[in-house]
Amino acid sequence: MKFLSVPIACLGLMLATAALADDHPVVVELYTSQGCSSCPPADKILHELAGRRDVIALSLHVDYWDYIGWKDQFARPEHTARQKAYARVGGRTMIYTPQMIVNGLDAIAGARAMQLAERIEAHHDKAVRAILTTRVAGGRVTATARPAAGAQLSGPFVVQLVRYAPRRSVTITRGELAGQNLDYANVVESWDRIGEWDGQGEANWSAPLPGDLPAAILVQQGTAGPILAAARVTAP
């Protein structure tokens, strides 16, 4: 599906957020495909977002365009399933690429940089509802969550560990993007559920963290609802 995009130069102007703290980042999920000719502008936007501390930008490649001549090397069926779950929760009858989901709530079609900037800023303006911290030791990550002061939370919330490759490159030889050499940022390699939280009081979860890929922890209402809190996993 093709969409009219906003020039990427607009993103830098609209996303000037120097005053924003990076301890409560907004999560932006881009659903994309190497078989989609409309996706490169959105992929470029994700590159921009990947350099920001106040955003956790994640590229989830889907597999439903593989049939048109090129099998996306980074696609996973679970990414397609997650996008479908967002569509069901949001009352949408179709899925498409490129699509961005902001903090599990807002769906943005195509590479609409100005709309994306507005939604990121709006989420930064919301009151913090949960405090999430992470710690790495002995090959494991420990995440700790607690309600923010005055917040009334009603779970269950799903705690998820995401691993991603900061940069991946591919030469595409068939399909709509044949002949192009493309770079992708923050390509999701795994997305694992590591626990649940009822939102009442402080809780801790621990999971193995093999290898050296960057990681993030997300606390989400269900598996396709609002993202309550997110944090990068930082090595000691």
Q: What is the domain range of residue 130?
A: 9-233
**Residue 91 included in any domain:** yes
CB-CB neighbours of 149 under 10 Å: 8
User: Is the pLDDT score of 190 beyond 60?
Assistant: yes
Q: What local confidence, expressed as pLDDT, does residue 179 receive?
A: 94
State the average pLDDT for the chain. Answer: 91
**Residue 147 included in any domain:** yes
**Residue 166 included in any domain:** yes
Q: What local confidence, expressed as pLDDT, does residue 10 receive?
A: 44
Q: What local confidence, expressed as pLDDT, does residue 22 receive?
A: 63
**Residue 4 included in any domain:** no
Q: What local confidence, expressed as pLDDT, does residue 133 receive?
A: 95
Burial 6-20 (b: 16+ CB within 10 A, else e): beeebbeebbebeeb
Q: What local confidence, expressed as pLDDT, does residue 9 receive?
A: 42
Determine which of 14-28, 35-49, 109-123, 128-142 has the lowest per-residue pLDDT on average: 14-28
- In 3D space, the residue among 151, 149, 147, 152 whose CA is nearest the CA of residue 132 turns out to be 147
Q: What local confidence, expressed as pLDDT, does residue 23 receive?
A: 79
Burial 184-217 (b: 16+ CB within 10 A, else e): bbbbbbebeeebebebeeebebebebeeebbbbb
**Residue 3 included in any domain:** no
Tell me the C-alpha distance between 205 and 220, whole Å: 14
Which residues, other chains included, contact 105 with Cβ-Cβ below 8 Å and sequence gap of 6+? 123, 226, 227
pTM score, whole prediction: 0.90
CATH number of the domain where residue 70 is located: 3.40.30.10
Burial 79-118 (b: 16+ CB within 10 A, else e): bbebbbebbebeeeeebbbbbbbbbbbbbbbbbbbebbbb
- In 3D space, the residue among 123, 132, 92, 112 whose CA is nearest the CA of residue 30 turns out to be 112
**Residue 82 included in any domain:** yes
Q: What local confidence, expressed as pLDDT, does residue 7 receive?
A: 43
User: Is the pLDDT score of 21 beyond 80?
Assistant: no
Q: What local confidence, expressed as pLDDT, does residue 234 receive?
A: 75
Handedness of CA 41, 81, 158, 204 (dihedral sign): negative
Per the structure, the count of domains in the chain is 1
CB-CB neighbours of 54 under 10 Å: 20
**Residue 210 included in any domain:** yes
**Residue 2 included in any domain:** no
Q: What local confidence, expressed as pLDDT, does residue 19 receive?
A: 38
Sheet holding 99-102, edge to edge: 106-109, 99-102, 26-32, 55-61, 181-197, 157-171, 215-221, 227-233
Instruction: For 89-125, write each residue's pLDDT tens digit.
Output: 999 999 999 999 999 999 999 899 999 999 999 999 9
